[in-house]
Structure formats: structure tokens, C-alpha cells
Structure 1
Amino acid sequence: MSNDEENDNPEFASPACLMHEVDPAYMGLEPQEPDVVAWRREERRRLIEIRTQRPLVEREERTRSLCRRLDSLLPHSMNKTISVYWPLAGEPDLRDWMHSLDARGATCLLPVVIQKNCPLVFRPWRRGEALEKGVFNIPVPIRLEEQRPDIVIAPVIGFDSDCYRLGFGGGYFDRTLASLGSRPLVIGVGYEFQRMESIRPQAHDIPMDVIVTDQSLIVRERSRSLVSWHLDA
């Protein structure tokens, strides 16, 4: 996602999946403490700077290791719709891995911002198909077909060992996953050097089911049954 998201709403930290996980004020929950908002804003800046300053060759090698761990998690053959993302600001570039998913029977989707502060939609995309610039100048598929993802893969700016994700803060995943009804499997991806002691989660922050990095694969204990259901179905 774009850095512009942070300016839309600084109160979100990680993707959510139920209605009570949307904007805390909208749902009657307490907003984040001001010091947490300021701390997260500074952590985003710091971690993005660290990530973008790492040499490209190092990020590429770390991404290959990350993809191998994703492959160890997901079945070799799968009839699933999987939302990935277009890489920005030094995020792991999974586009080659997306191509391998297509060969394994999966349908790859890209998230599309239709309007600021509204849920994302997901459009199928294969390598070589036409793209156009969308909101925030993020490339999006031209064809307007929309599908619901079984699995959502989201890049992290930071994460902790409890699978909480620090994102750009715009709340797009929160709104989107809340609007999907049944919960997809949500996987956060990033580099091991983005691990934090804690993102200082608030009452409305919901952890991801799995975090995958170039050095580790963390499955949240309370999500194990959900992970098994999605991957075995």
C-alpha cells in the first residue's frame, strides 16, 4: 500500500476480519492512546527507512527465502484464490512467486483501491496482462472482474511474535476483511529485521493468522484450526 494511507486514518495497525475490528470510533470502541499513535507513526518511518536502505540484492535473496517458507506452508496443488500485492517501498517482491501459484492451480488477485477510505476489491491478474495506474498510482488490473480471496497475503512494516502487524495505518485491510463476511486466511510477509518486541496492540487490533519472513514462520496458536481448514479444504 502507499504511504498516503497513513494520512487517511492513523489508528489502524493490522488487518481485521470482523465488524468490531473496523474503525474503533465507528464501532464504539476507544481510539488508540495519542502516545501510541505517535509511536507507531515514528516506527513506520524508521522501519521503512531501514527496509529501503538495504541493498536490492540482499532484499532479493531474503525474498527468495521468504517464498520458500510460503511454499512450505501452502499445498503444492491448490484451487484457491490468493490475494497478493504490488510491491512498494522495499516490500518483498512476490510477483515471480505469483507466477508459480498460477502453475499450481491457484488464481492470483491484486487488491484495488476504488475509493479512499472504502473497502478494497480484488481483481484476477496474471503476468503479462494489462495494468493501469489506480489510486495512489498503484498498478491495478484493467479488467473489472472481482473475486473473493480465500487467502490474503499482506506486507508488513513491522510485526511481533504474537502475529500482530504494523501496517501503513490507512485501515484498508480492516474495512475490506470486515466486509468479506467469512474470514479468509490472512498471512503477513516481511523481512526478519522488521520484527519488533511488540507493536503495542490496542483493543481493536487483530493479529494475523501467520507471519512469514525470510527466517521464520509463525503460526498464531489460536489460528491453527483456521490455518488447517483453509489449507486442507
Structure 2
Amino acid sequence: MNGEDDTFRCRGGLSSPPCYAAEIAPEYFDPLAVDPGQARDVARWRKAERERLRAERQALSVTERQAVGAALMVHLRRVLDERFDGGRGRVFSAYWPIKGEPDLRPLMTELHRRGVVVALPIVETRAAPLVFRRWTPETKMVRGDWNIPVPPPDAPMETPAIALAPLVGWSADGYRLGYGGGYFDRTLAALRPRPFVIGVGFETARLRTIFPQPHDITLDLVLTDAGVRSDPEGTGSGRVSGPPASGTGPR
């Protein structure tokens, strides 16, 4: 696989560092938690699956990707309206679309106009939890890590109560295959209170499993263009006690 090993040899059990983080941030890997051979096998498998799924996503036409984004926004509006009063009084963390991700920026603008505080995640320190800074349609974006547009450093910091997690891949038990840096898992482990996390992505990116291991953190909800695909608690009522929209979070 990728010139290293053409056979996936996971020998059972739950293994691998989260989101390939062992090869990017060794300090994030607990060598006592997994078998090193399994970790290497699963890391190679995850890397290959990321490349495959991203290539499939990039191969879609603009019209097809727009249709996925439009369907996701319909489902997100419904979830926010039915479970969280439209997000009012809460900080909602979205994302700026890159690499063929569903474009949900129209919903960001709509929520801002409703009075929801919208924030975007930013890598301000490598191998550390993300920070969240407030976004509005008038925000003058700057180039952040990996050249991703982000709010400027003087934008207020926020602590999200509801957070979107873009999915490269996903499984029905609520696990996420991300880009491989381990940032989102670190962030969820560090945030108190933890936000209600909604994974958003393509229905076609479903995996039987990501071979989760101790560091992987499940999502509260998975949404695709087909609708709700994973809802472990079935209510969406837990862990939404983040700061009110009038707060600016830690600085």
C-alpha cells in the first residue's frame, strides 16, 4: 500500500494512532495502548483510504458537489431547528471548505443573520488543540496554516457549543476519518465543556470501520447528503452547555 505494503494486515482488535497522528506528532501516540505492528498496518490503511476518498471527492463535478452541500444544509437546518432552537444563544463552529469539501458557507451567513455566533477553527500552534475565532460575512480573512482562509488574529476567541467536523470518511458507529493531523481529537479532548459535534460529509465516504483505537473520539451525530447516518444517543440533547452567544470565550 503506497509502496510500503500492498496487504492490510490488521490482526484484530482496536488499533492505530488517531488519524495517523503517530507519524505526524509522535508525542500524541501512546505506545502502551496498541500493538506497534497493528498501528503501522492501520496507519498505512488509513492513509490509503484518505487518498482514495479524497480522489473520489475531487473527481465529482462542481454541480455534484453543490448538490451535496445543498442537501447537507437542509439536514443541518432541520437538526439545529429541532434540537437546538436554530442554534440561537450558542456558538456554532463551522469550517472553511477546502479540497472538495461540501461548501456550507451560505448556512454560515444565514446563521449569523439569525443571531448565532459563528466561529471557525484555526491551527495557531502546531500539534496543539485548535482555537476558534469569530467569523462574520464582513470578516477580512487571512491565510492560515496550510494556506486555509481564517479570521485574523484580532478576531474574538470563542468556545463552541456546537461544532461541525468535516469528514474524509465515516462509519456508522460515529467515528471519523480526518486528514491525519490528529487536531480535532486533541481539541475535543481539551475542550470543557465538550461541544456537541456533528460530522458532515459525503454519503459515498462511508466505511465499514476506521479500526478505532483508544485515542479516537466518536461524533455525536453524522450527517451526509442522505440525512442523519449516525445518532448514538438519539436525542442530540447532551453536551450543549457551552457559553452563550454573548460571551467571547477564553482569550
1:151–1:184 CA contact under 8 A, matched in 2: yes
Query: Considering only CA atoms, is the larger Rg found in Structure 1 or Structure 2?
Result: 2
Q: Which has the higher contact order (CA 8 A, sep 6+)?
A: 1
Superposed CA RMSD in Å reads 2.2
TM (normalized to structure 2)? 0.79
1:198 aligned to 2:209? yes
1:150 aligned to 2:161? yes
2:234 & 2:42 partners in 1: Cα distance? 29
1:11–1:169 CA contact under 8 A, matched in 2: no
2:195 & 2:28 partners in 1: Cα distance? 19
Q: Which runs of structure 2 are paired with 1:96-175 in the superposition (5 Å)? A: 96-142=106-152, 143-175=154-186
Figure out how many residues of one structure are paired with residues of the other and give that number: 214
User: 2:79 is matched with which residue: 61, 73, 76?
Assistant: 73
2:87 & 2:54 partners in 1: Cα distance? 34
1:207 & 1:144 partners in 2: Cα distance? 30
1:39 aligned to 2:48? no
The CA deviation at 1:93 is 0.8
Structure 2: gaps of 5 or more residues:
1-15, 21-26, 243-251
1:207 aligned to 2:248? no
TM (normalized to structure 1)? 0.85
Q: Identity, % of aligned pairs? A: 40
Aligned to 2:237: 228
1:210 & 1:124 partners in 2: Cα distance? 23
**Offset from partner CA, 1:173-215 (integer Å, 9 cap, x none):** 1221222122110110001111112112123222111000101
Q: Deviation above 6 Å: which 4+ runs of structure 1?
A: none
CA gap 1:175/1:72 in 2 versus in 1, 3 angstroms = same
CA gap 1:194/1:72 in 2 versus in 1, 3 angstroms = same
SS in structure 1 at match of 2:160:
coil
1:25 aligned to 2:56? no
1:231 & 1:145 partners in 2: Cα distance? 21
1:148 & 1:67 partners in 2: Cα distance? 22
2:204 & 2:66 partners in 1: Cα distance? 14
